[in-house]
Chains A and B, each alone.
Chain A
Amino acid sequence: MSSQPLEVQHVNVKLFVEGTEEVLEPLVPVFHRWIQERPLEELLLDVADYRHVIDGPGVVLIGHEANYSLDNTDGHLGVLYNRKTPLDGTNQDRLKQAAHAALNACEKLEAEPKLSGKIHFGGTKIQLLINDRFLAPNVPETRAAFDPELKAFCAKLFGGAEYTASYENDPRRRFGVTLQTAQPIPPGKLLANLAS
C-alpha cells in the first residue's frame, strides 16, 4: 500500500452548518427548482427525501456526476458534495474541485430566499471523505499517503490559517478527516483562496 501512490477520487466535502433539521422541508422545493433552472454545472436528475430517517442523508439532490445534499449524518447538519464520476487531473485538482463545488452550493443555499437564512456555514468545520474503500481503505497507510496531499490542500484552502485535522478512527467507516479552523472563514473567502 505504502509503495503505491494514492489516487484520490470520489471526494466528499461536507461544510458543517448551523441550524436544525427543520430546514430540510423547505429545501425540497428549492432542489426541485435547481433542477429546473440548472444553476450548477452537473447534470441534475432528481430529489431524494430521507427526512424520515434519523441522522441520515437528509435531502439529496441527485446528479449524474455528483450529488448535493443537506446531510445529517451523525446528527451534524452540513452541505455535502459527493463526487460520483472520476475526474482527471491531480489529487490536488480533485480535492479543490470538490471543495469548490461544496462552497459554491453552500453560498447559493445561504442566499436562497425560500430558506430565509436558515442555512449558515459556521466557517470552521469541514469534513473530507474519500468515498471509495478500494482506493482509500481507512488504514494507517492511506493516512500516511494522504497527509502530504492534505497539507498542501489545506494551505491553499485556508490561506495559511491555522487548523486541526482529525482523522476518522473507525476502520469500518470511510477514510476521512475533519478539519477545524480556529477562526471562522466565510465561504467566499475560502473560494477566493482556492482560486488564488
Chain B
Amino acid sequence: MKASNHLSAEKLAGKIPEALGREIDIFETEVALRKTGKIDERVFAETRLRRGAYGQRYDNGQRSDGAKVQEMKYPSGDLTKGPMTMWDAPGMQRIKIPGGGLTVEQLETIADLAEEYSDGIAHVTTRQDFQLHYIHIEDTPSIMRRLAAVGITTREACGNSVRNITACPYAGVCRDEVFDVTPYAQGMFRFLLGHPDVQNFGRKFKPAFSGCSQHACGLTNIHDIGFIAATRTEDGEEKRGFVTFVGGGLGAVPYNAKLLDEFVPAEEILPVTQAVSRVFARLGEKRNRSRARIKFLVQDLGIEKFRELVAEERKTLPYDPRWTELIKDAEKFHEAPLHPGGEAADSDAHEFKRWSRTNLRPQKQDGYVVATVTLPLGDITANQLRALADVVRRYTKGTVRSTVEQNFVIRWVSLKDLSNLYRDLEAVGLGDPGAGAIVDIVTCPGTDTCKLGISSSRGLAAELHKRLTEKRFEFDQPVENLHIKISGCFNSCGQHHVCDLGFYGVSRKMGGFAVPHFQVVLGGEWEHNGGTYGMPVLAVPSKRIPEVVTRLTEKYVGSRQNGETFKEFAKRTGKVQLKSWLEDLARPAAPGDRSLFSDWGDPREYTLGDMGTGECAGEVITATEFELASAERELFEAQIALDNGHFDQAGKTAYKSMLDGAKALVKLVNPNIPSDPDRIVADFKTYYYDTQKFWDPFAGGKFAHYLFDAHQKANGSYTADASRYLIDEAQLFIDAAHSCYNQLGKAVTV
C-alpha cells in the first residue's frame, strides 16, 4: 500500500465535493476500524462492495501453483476484509462511468491510478465501467479521492445496489435514435445514487437506456430495468418518453425483459423507477441469492401483477421535486464540435481505408463521424489513456465514451480531421481496425482475476484474437460481421448469450482429470438490444475452441441461404446438426496427451480448487447492521476529536453515535424512522426500554439511561471530562445495542 495515503485528503482539499469527500472519509474510517477488528467482516465486506472495492481470485489466501496449493502468508496474518477474504490480498476497484461518458481529465486520472496503484492497465468492462486490478484495500480511499477530484464516484459500483447506468454510446449523434437519452441516464444516476429506496435490495439492480429498438447499443433486453426512447403526440405536441421494460437478465438462465409500460413520460421515469425499486426491495428474495434478482420476482408475480404493484406504489410516493428538476437540469446537456464539419479528404492509404470501413460511423450531424477505438480484451495502458486524452482534446471538445463492447468511441470528429485522427491513434497503438467485427472479442476477466472463473476467458479471447487477426482481411463479409463473446463461467459477465458465437466456462472430467471447457452457445442476437438468446450446444475443451470457430464459420459461409444471419442459420440448422459438426472435438484426447489439461495463457495444470465465493451478490446486511456500524464509526471519530482536544465536538459526536445505535434498533420496528432525535429516543423508549428488550441481565436498563441522559443534555456544551465520560457510556450503549440485536435473532432479516 502507498506510503502517501495519509496525504491524499490534504493534497486534494478543495477539489472534492463536500458530500463525496465526507463519504470517503467515512469509508477510510471504516477501513481503519476493520483493521482493528471493530467492524464485523460481513458488514465491512458489503460496505466496501458498495464503494466498488471487490475481491479478487486467490484472496482466500490459497492458490494452486500447478503442483500444490500454496498458502499465502500475508503480513496482516488472518485479518480479513470479508468472509474468507484476506486483508492484504489484492482486490479489484470498479469505477462507475454513467453512460460511459468521460472527460479527458478523467482519462488522465484513471491512467495515473492504473500506474500507481494497479499494474499499469485499466480495463473497460461490458457495462461501460473501468476496473483496476491488484489493488490493496488500504489504498482505496486515496483512489476514491483522486477520482472524486475529477467528478467520479465509485459508490454503489458493486454490492446489492443500483449499478452503473449504461446508455447507448452513440446517444445524441446516432442517425437512428428517437432522441438523445444521455440526459435521462445522467438524471437517473444522480437521483438513484445513495437513494434510501435502493439500499435494501437482495441483489444488484442494473438500469440501461437505449435511443432505439433496433440496434444493440443499450442492451435493454438483458437489464433489470430498461428504457427505450419513444415519442407520442399529445394535443398536437410531441412528448418524450420511454418504452419501459423490467426483469431482463443473463446469468445461468437468461430472462428476456418484460414490457412494463409502453410509454412512460420522461418526467415520470424517476418516480416509476423509484416505485419499481420499492416493490423490488419489499418483495424481492433476500435469503436465496440465486433467486434474488428482480427477474425472478417479475417471473413469480407475473408482469401484470408486478405492473399493478408498481402503479400502486407510484401513487403512494411522496412528491419529490427532484423527479423533474434533475431531468430538466440534465436536458440542458448539449455537446458541440470543436472543429467545423466538412468532407473527408481522399486518401489511398490502405490501412486508413481498412480502419475507416469498420471503425467509423456517420453521425446524424452532417460532416461528422464517430470513431471507435478498439481495445484488445478491453485493456488499455496508462500511456495509451493519456495519449487518447491528447487525441480527444485535439479533435473534440474533450469527451469520449466507453462502450459495452469494451471500446471507446470518439464523437464529433470532423470528416476533415479523419486521416490525422487515424494517424494519431495508430501512433500509440490504438488504430486497430475491426470494431464490432469478429476480431473485436468481448470477454469478462474470467480466471485471470475473478473468483468465480472456471475457464480462462481472457486467455481464449487473446488466442482467438491473435488467430483471427492474422486472417481478418481474408474473411467473407458475413463472417467478418460475426460477434464473439466469452464468459469465464455461467454468470454471463461476457454476455455470451447475446452474440453469434458465445462461450462460457465449464469444467469436465477426462480420464480422471479436470479439464477446462467452454460451453458453446450459438445464434444469440446482439442487435435489437440483445433481442434473442443463443442456444447451448455442447461443451468442448478450451484448447479446441479455436477449431470450433473455424468449423462453424466455414459451415456458415458454405451453407448460408439467401443472406441469412448467423442467428437464422443456427436456428434453421438446429441443435442436433450443429452438435454433430462439433462432437468429435468434445472427445477426450489420446492417452498420454496432456495438452487439454491446462488452459489458454496459463501453463499450470488445471484445477477448480482456486475458485472462491463470488461477491457479485454482496452481503445481505440489514439496515440495522449498517446503522450499528455507523454508530461505531461515529464513536471512533468522537475519540479522535477528544484526543485532539476538541471536547465539545467529541461530546456531540459521541451523543450522535448513541442516537445511531438506538435508531439501528428502532429500524427493526419502524423502517422509516426519521432522523429526528426526539422521535428516535421516544421510539427507542417505547419499543425497547418499556418492553425491557434492551435489558441487561445484570445492569437492567442502565445503558438505556445513558442515552436518555445524553439526550436531555444534548443542547449544552461538553467539557473534557464530560466528553470523556460520554464516550465511555456511548461505547457501553452501542455494545448493548449489538447484544440486544443478537438476542432478537435478527442477524439476517428480510
Contact (Cβ within 8 A) A56 B7: no
CB of A17 within 8 A of chain B?
no
Contact A48-B58, Cβ < 8 Å, known A55-B381, A73-B381: no
Contact (Cβ within 8 A) B376 A52: yes
The segment from B113-121, B265-273, B333-341, B498-506 found at the interface with A is B113-121
Contact (Cβ within 8 A) B3 A135: yes
Contact (Cβ within 8 A) A45 B58: yes
Set of chain A residues within 8 Å of B70, measured between Cβ atoms: 35-36
Set of chain B residues within 8 Å of A67, measured between Cβ atoms: 119, 134
Which A-chain residue is minimally distant from B462 (CB atoms)?
Answer: A52
The segment from A57-65, A103-111, A152-160 found at the interface with B is A57-65
Which of B65, B133, B381, B466 is A56 in contact with, Cβ under 8 Å?
Answer: B381
Contact (Cβ within 8 A) B112 A28: no
Contact (Cβ within 8 A) A9 B3: yes
Once the chains are docked, how many angstroms separate the CA of A69 from the CA of B88? 21
Which of A43, A48, A74, A133 is B74 in contact with, Cβ under 8 Å?
Answer: A43
Q: Among residues 1 to 36 in chain B, which have CB atoms less than 8 Å away from a CB atom of chain A?
A: 1-4, 7-8, 11
CB of A7 within 8 A of chain B?
yes
Contact (Cβ within 8 A) B63 A46: yes
Which A-chain residue is minimally distant from B448 (CB atoms)?
Answer: A48
| Size of B's binding interface in residues, CB under 8 A | 51
Contact (Cβ within 8 A) B58 A46: yes
Contact (Cβ within 8 A) B603 A53: no
CB of A3 within 8 A of chain B?
no
Q: Among residues 631 to 668 in chain B, which have CB atoms less than 8 Å away from a CB atom of chain A?
A: none
Which B-chain residue is minimally distant from A12 (CB atoms)?
Answer: B115
Contact (Cβ within 8 A) A131 B1: no
CB of B377 within 8 A of chain A?
yes
Contact (Cβ within 8 A) A64 B380: no
Q: Among residues 410 to 431 in chain B, which have CB atoms less than 8 Å away from a CB atom of chain A?
A: 428-429
B646 to chain A, nearest CB (A): 27
CB of B609 within 8 A of chain A?
no
| Size of A's binding interface in residues, CB under 8 A | 40
Q: Among residues 100 to 148 in chain B, which have CB atoms less than 8 Å away from a CB atom of chain A?
A: 108, 112, 115-116, 119-121, 133-134, 136, 142
Set of chain B residues within 8 Å of A9, measured between Cβ atoms: 2-4
What 0/1 readout, one digit per residue, does chain A (120-135) give for beta carbons within 8 Å of chain B?
0000000000011111
CB of B90 within 8 A of chain A?
yes
B118 to chain A, nearest CB (A): 10
**Interface of A, helix, strand, loop or mixed by DSSP:** loop
Which of B4, B63, B386 is A134 in contact with, Cβ under 8 Å?
Answer: B4
Once the chains are docked, how many angstroms separate the CA of A50 from the CA of B381? 10
Contact (Cβ within 8 A) B67 A36: yes
CB of B75 within 8 A of chain A?
yes
Once the chains are docked, how many angstroms separate the CA of A65 from the CA of B376? 29
Contact (Cβ within 8 A) B90 A62: yes
CB of B383 within 8 A of chain A?
yes
Which A-chain residue is minimally distant from B604 (CB atoms)?
Answer: A32
Contact (Cβ within 8 A) B65 A32: yes
Contact (Cβ within 8 A) A134 B65: no
A35 to chain B, nearest CB (A): 5
Contact A32-B66, Cβ < 8 Å, known A45-B90, A54-B429: yes
B210 to chain A, nearest CB (A): 30
Once the chains are docked, how many angstroms separate the CA of A176 from the CA of B91? 27
Contact A35-B65, Cβ < 8 Å, known A56-B120, A62-B119: yes
A174 to chain B, nearest CB (A): 6
Which of B379, B386, B462 is A172 in contact with, Cβ under 8 Å?
Answer: B386
Once the chains are docked, how many angstroms separate the CA of A53 from the CA of B620? 39
Contact (Cβ within 8 A) B58 A134: no
Once the chains are docked, how many angstroms separate the CA of A55 from the CA of B381? 8
Q: Among residues 69 to 110 in chain A, which have CB atoms less than 8 Å away from a CB atom of chain B?
A: 71, 73-74, 84-86
Set of chain A residues within 8 Å of B72, measured between Cβ atoms: 43, 45, 64
CB of B601 within 8 A of chain A?
yes
A60 to chain B, nearest CB (A): 5
Set of chain B residues within 8 Å of A50, measured between Cβ atoms: 119-121, 379
Contact (Cβ within 8 A) A131 B119: no
Which A-chain residue is minimally distant from B57 (CB atoms)?
Answer: A46
Once the chains are docked, how many angstroms separate the CA of A56 from the CA of B119? 10
Once the chains are docked, how many angstroms separate the CA of A36 from the CA of B63? 10
Contact (Cβ within 8 A) A45 B65: no
Once the chains are docked, how many angstroms separate the CA of A45 from the CA of B384? 27
Once the chains are docked, how many angstroms separate the CA of A87 from the CA of B685? 53
Once the chains are docked, how many angstroms separate the CA of A135 from the CA of B4? 6
Q: Among residues 1 to 50 in chain A, which have CB atoms less than 8 Å away from a CB atom of chain B?
A: 7, 9-10, 28-29, 32, 35-36, 43, 45-50
Set of chain A residues within 8 Å of B289, measured between Cβ atoms: none
B449 to chain A, nearest CB (A): 8
Once the chains are docked, how many angstroms separate the CA of A134 from the CA of B65? 36
Q: Among residues 45 to 80 in chain B, which have CB atoms less than 8 Å away from a CB atom of chain A?
A: 57-58, 63, 65-68, 70, 72-75
A149 to chain B, nearest CB (A): 16
Contact (Cβ within 8 A) A85 B121: no
Once the chains are docked, how many angstroms separate the CA of A132 from the CA of B1? 11
Contact (Cβ within 8 A) A36 B3: no
Contact (Cβ within 8 A) A32 B2: no
Once the chains are docked, how many angstroms separate the CA of A52 from the CA of B601? 11
Which B-chain residue is minimally distant from A30 (CB atoms)?
Answer: B603
Set of chain B residues within 8 Å of A172, measured between Cβ atoms: 108, 112, 386
Which B-chain residue is minimally distant from A48 (CB atoms)?
Answer: B119
Set of chain A residues within 8 Å of B94, measured between Cβ atoms: none
Which B-chain residue is minimally distant from A74 (CB atoms)?
Answer: B383
Which of B3, B134, B136 is A48 in contact with, Cβ under 8 Å?
Answer: B134
Q: Among residues 421 to 472 in chain B, which have CB atoms less than 8 Å away from a CB atom of chain A?
A: 428-429, 448, 459, 462, 465-466
Which A-chain residue is minimally distant from B70 (CB atoms)?
Answer: A35
B543 to chain A, nearest CB (A): 16
B214 to chain A, nearest CB (A): 32
Set of chain A residues within 8 Å of B66, measured between Cβ atoms: 32, 36
Set of chain B residues within 8 Å of A60, measured between Cβ atoms: 119-120
Contact A53-B121, Cβ < 8 Å, known A48-B448, A131-B116, A133-B116: yes
Contact A64-B65, Cβ < 8 Å, known A28-B601, A135-B3: no
Once the chains are docked, how many angstroms separate the CA of A54 from the CA of B379? 10
Contact (Cβ within 8 A) A62 B134: yes
Which B-chain residue is minimally distant from A52 (CB atoms)?
Answer: B376
Once the chains are docked, how many angstroms separate the CA of A89 from the CA of B90? 25
Which B-chain residue is minimally distant from A55 (CB atoms)?
Answer: B429
Once the chains are docked, how many angstroms separate the CA of A69 from the CA of B237? 63
Contact (Cβ within 8 A) B58 A73: no
A65 to chain B, nearest CB (A): 9
Which A-chain residue is minimally distant from B469 (CB atoms)?
Answer: A52
Top 8 closest pairs, chain A to chain B, by CB: A54-B429, A134-B4, A86-B3, A9-B3, A29-B603, A57-B120, A52-B376, A36-B65
Query: Could you list 30 examples of A-B contacts with CB < 8 Å?
Result: A9-B2, A9-B3, A28-B601, A28-B603, A35-B70, A36-B67, A45-B63, A45-B90, A46-B57, A46-B90, A47-B602, A48-B134, A52-B465, A53-B379, A53-B380, A55-B428, A56-B384, A57-B120, A57-B121, A60-B119, A64-B75, A64-B88, A74-B383, A84-B136, A86-B1, A86-B2, A134-B11, A134-B142, A172-B112, A173-B386
Chain A positions within 8 Å of B, measured between CB atoms, are: 7, 9-10, 28-29, 32, 35-36, 43, 45-57, 60, 62, 64, 67, 71, 73-74, 84-86, 131-135, 172-174
Given contacts A54-B384, A57-B381, A172-B386, 5 further A-B contacts (CB under 8 A): A36-B66, A48-B121, A52-B462, A53-B379, A55-B383
